[in-house]
Structure 1
Amino acid sequence: MKNLFLLFALFFTLALVAQSEKGRILPKEIQIKTALLPVPEGSSTDTMVYGYSEDGDFLVLREGTSNLICLADDPNRDGISVSCYSKKLEPFMKRGRELRADGKDVMEIREIRGKEVSEGKLDMPREPSMMYVYYGADADYDSSTGELANGQFRYVIYIPYATTESTGLPDKPHAKGMPWLMNPAPIGPISW
């Protein structure tokens, strides 16, 4: 019975520690280090990084001159997920952040941005643009070093006005790790 009580106490303590981590804003240097995890080797020294102030405001943590922009992990979401994308995608990504801040869900954001791109109200690159995502579990993240063990990559290529017919890609994944066209025209990113 004593061992059962100790086990319960340990579990409760670990749950409280994990809960207290959620929403905690990490130091700027750790946010930057984690945000740069998906960047291809050799491209991280001059990459712009967005993250969070101590008050939780979303802002630029580091200016950069490379062709990539990286986003730090959102401390209010479960798991760890950081991404980097082509600077040419910034108007599109910024608009998504604005719509999310207005309380729109994923499908509404997809619909609104698609319509705005089609109407010429939202700039979208004419050529394919890349996004790198690196994600994993909170339990595998060391918030003191910014390292994520057992992380996984996901790659998204935004191809404006692509269709399954124009690319030969399916509109849903048929096997893990295989490319597929996530949003056929007008935005048309492929993801794998």
Structure 2
Amino acid sequence: MAAPEASRAGCKVIGYNMAGEFVTLKEGDNEFIVLADDPNKEGFSAACYHKDLEPFMARGRALKAEGKKHQEIFDIREEEMKAGKFNITSGATLHIYSGPKAEYDPATAKVDEAKLRYVVYLPWATAASTGLPEAPVASNHPWIMNPGTHRAHIMISPLTDESH
């Protein structure tokens, strides 16, 4: 559900098996990788990202599995980006479908109260280089998060259908 609808059938899906192990659930043949919801966490969160982001994403998961905290992971990956270990393509996009509940409604093909938001990576970009503010002007306005860092990205939180 995090993937663009036209691309869903060809996505690689990674997530958790019945034993709670992180595995490939489905091989894919297009440009997207979907990270399935972790059934052991509250609420719902699935993500979809361009396959070129996988080394960067996998490194974050590995550091978290080692017990590293958020800031440690950020700092380590920043140094690794500066050293050329990762190449985040400017404009690579992460789609996130998440919400406080985990109830899937087969009639609507949606998760109750879940919303989409998007991250467009622009490593090292700043408010000055993009013209975007560093905080949202309104709930659905784009803004730049982590400016000047390896994780600089545009945050986009569209209005929900009910908000129109």
Please state if 1:60 is matched with 2:27.
Answer: no
Instruction: Give 5+ residue unaligned stretches, structure 2.
Output: 157-164
Change (3 A) 1:144 1:52: farther
- Cα distance in 2 between the residues matched to 1:117 and 1:70: 23
Higher strand share: 2
Paired residues of 1:117 and 1:186 also in contact (CA < 8 A):
no
- Cα distance in 2 between the residues matched to 1:38 and 1:182: 21
Number of the residue aligned with 1:151: 114
Number of the residue aligned with 1:184: 147
Note the 1:105-116 alignment, pairs <5 A.
105-116=69-80
Please state whether the residue corresponding to 2:129 is helix, strand or coil.
Answer: helix
Please state if 1:83 is matched with 2:17.
Answer: no
One-letter code of the match for 2:120?
A: I
State the 1:143 CA deviation: 8.5
Number of the residue aligned with 1:9: none
One-letter code of the match for 1:104?
A: K
Please state whether the residue corresponding to 1:44 is helix, strand or coil.
Answer: helix
Number of the residue aligned with 2:62: 98
- The superposition leaves residues 12-71 of structure 1 with CA deviations (integer Å, 9 ceiling, x where unpaired) of xxxxxxxxxxxxxxxxxxxxxxxxx02112111110000112211101000001100001
Please state if 1:137 is matched with 2:103.
Answer: no
Number of the residue aligned with 1:162: 125
Paired residues of 1:47 and 1:70 also in contact (CA < 8 A):
yes
Paired residues of 2:89 and 2:121 also in contact (CA < 8 A):
no
Number of the residue aligned with 2:37: 73
TM-score normalised to the size of structure 2? 0.85
One-letter code of the match for 1:186?
A: T
Please state if 1:175 is matched with 2:143.
Answer: no
Number of the residue aligned with 2:11: 47
State the 1:124 CA deviation: 2.0
Paired residues of 2:12 and 2:28 also in contact (CA < 8 A):
yes
- Cα distance in 1 between the residues matched to 2:32 and 2:144: 22
Instruction: Give 5+ residue unaligned stretches, structure 1.
Output: 1-36
Aligned residues: 154
Change (3 A) 1:166 1:176: same
TM-score normalised to the size of structure 1? 0.74
- The superposition leaves residues 109-141 of structure 1 with CA deviations (integer Å, 9 ceiling, x where unpaired) of 1221112101212x1233310010001122x51
Higher helix share: 1
Change (3 A) 1:112 1:105: same
